[in-house]
Each structure stands twice: as structure tokens, then as C-alpha cells.
Amino acid sequence: MGWLDNFLNKPLFKKTRPDFPPAAWKEPKSELELLERHIGLSFEKQIDFGDYIGQCGWDIDLEAGTIAFGDRLLANIQVIGRFAYFNNSWLWAWAAEQVIIPQPLLVDALAIRSFGEQHEIRRFQQSTYPVQIDELHNFGMIAVGMFGADAYFMGDYGQGVGLFTVKNEALRNHRKDSTDRIFTTFPQIAANFNVDHRQALRCYLMDKGYILDEQKTKVIGSKGKEKCLATFDKHGRLLTLKS
């Protein structure tokens, strides 16, 4: 899983959140809350995407609104933004001036800006600012979750890295949406992202159709005969996860 390597031991957000009770299911109102809301299912989709395309090359056709991964996949895209190597900065696609991006490919990026305006999230409104390249994964997973994309792709073009979301039926058909995946996917999230483990797991389980029974140090998810039991320490960090 080479795309995940850069995450190791690199906290991307700091957080302050009460231990218990957890927040009710509600609309996220910050960048961190958006990541926690969507990271579970988006991360799972991203693993499947990497498995599907392998080490294929890529080619963007902005006029057609597509990205090709060799002969393996042709997918529709939305352009989210780009990272520039020369000054380690992020630029939202709606603010791009050096390349003409067709308006239909900016729908999602503009929706993120509108969300930022509604909830006063400065980084969603500001056209450009310094970032670490790893933060593109956060933007990608948020966009995948917010707009129901099948994955995101970070394309290195030499001077920088473009961030795109992709949609294609073949990716949806390739999805391995089994219950067992929770027990392998979520520990990777807990180990590599500085998010609230409890809140991220709650959202992940509800996205997968689980009904939750919550106690002070436990979350029990039920879906028919399937069970998921998670225990947490007093700070909400994951201790155990089992069926």
C-alpha cells in the first residue's frame, strides 16, 4: 500500500474533544470534523482503488473531464486543487489561473468553498496557503465522502501534484464491502491519522449500516447478526476492536 507510506507518524491535525458522551450524528462544521465524518469509508475506497489500478500511468483530459490509467480505467473527474513543490503551497482549483479548467470540473471544489463560507472554515475559503503534501490525502478523503466519489488521485506532474476525485462504475463493482474489512481498515486509520478514534469509528460504522449502542468506554455496532465491539481509553483512543 505504497500510497499510505507517507502517513506514518505524521499527525496532521491537533484536536480537543470531550471524552464522553460523543457528539450526536450531525453536520460537521470544521475541517477535522469533516475528516472524521468521512475517513472510514473513503479510506476503504482508496485501498480498493489502489488495488484496482496498480502501478498504471495516468493521463488527464480536461476537455473531456476524464483521467485514464493506461488501458485499465477511464474515469470521470472533479479537479480539487494542486500542491506546488517550489513553495509547498496548496491552491484550490477554483482559483487556478495558469491552466483553464472547465467549469463543470470545478463543481465539487466550489461546493467545498461554499461549505467553508457557511461554517467559517478559513482554509476552504482562502485560495492558496502553505501545506504539507500529506494534507492532500485529507482533502481527497473529505471530497470523496462529501460528494460520493469512488476515490481520489494525486497526480505528480513534475512541478507539483494535482488532486482529483474519480468516479467510475468499474470501481464501484470492484469494491470489497464486507464486514470483516472494518477490523483491518480501521486500525490503520487509528495508527496513521490524528483523528478522534471514537468519532471516526462511529461515522464509519453508521456509513456501513450499523446501529450503535454506546457506553462510556465502548461502542457496539450491530447489523443483523453482525457485531462490532470497540473499546477506548479515557481519551477516546482505540484499545480493542473485535467482532
Mean pLDDT of 109-136: 97
Place of cell 457496539: 220
Mean pLDDT of 57-65: 96
Residue 11 has pLDDT above 90, yes or no: no
pLDDT at 12 (0 to 100) = 45
35 vs 3, residue with greater confidence = 35
Task: Identify residue 183 by its one-letter amino acid code.
Answer: F
pLDDT at 179 (0 to 100) = 78
Query: At 25, is the pLDDT very low, low, confident or very high (cuts 50, 70, 90)?
Result: low
146: which strand partners? none
Using DSSP bridges, classify how beta strands 151-156 and 160-167 pair: parallel, antiparallel or unpaired: antiparallel
Residue 2 has pLDDT above 90, yes or no: no
pLDDT at 23 (0 to 100) = 44
pLDDT at 16 (0 to 100) = 36
50: cell is 489502489
Question: Are the CB atoms for 166 and 77 separated by under 8 Å?
Answer: yes
State the CB neighbour count (10 A cutoff) for residue 227: 13
pLDDT at 180 (0 to 100) = 85
- What is the pTM (predicted TM-score) of this model? 0.88
pLDDT at 224 (0 to 100) = 92
15 vs 73, residue with greater confidence = 73
Residue 14 has pLDDT above 90, yes or no: no
CA distances from 189 to 6, 74, 119, 218, 236 (A): 13, 28, 26, 18, 14
Residue 17 has pLDDT above 70, yes or no: no
Tens of pLDDT, residue by residue over 157-208, are 999 999 999 999 999 999 987 878 999 999 999 999 989 999 999 999 999 9
241: which strand partners? 230
Tens of pLDDT, residue by residue over 199-243, are 999 999 999 999 999 998 999 999 999 999 999 999 999 999 999
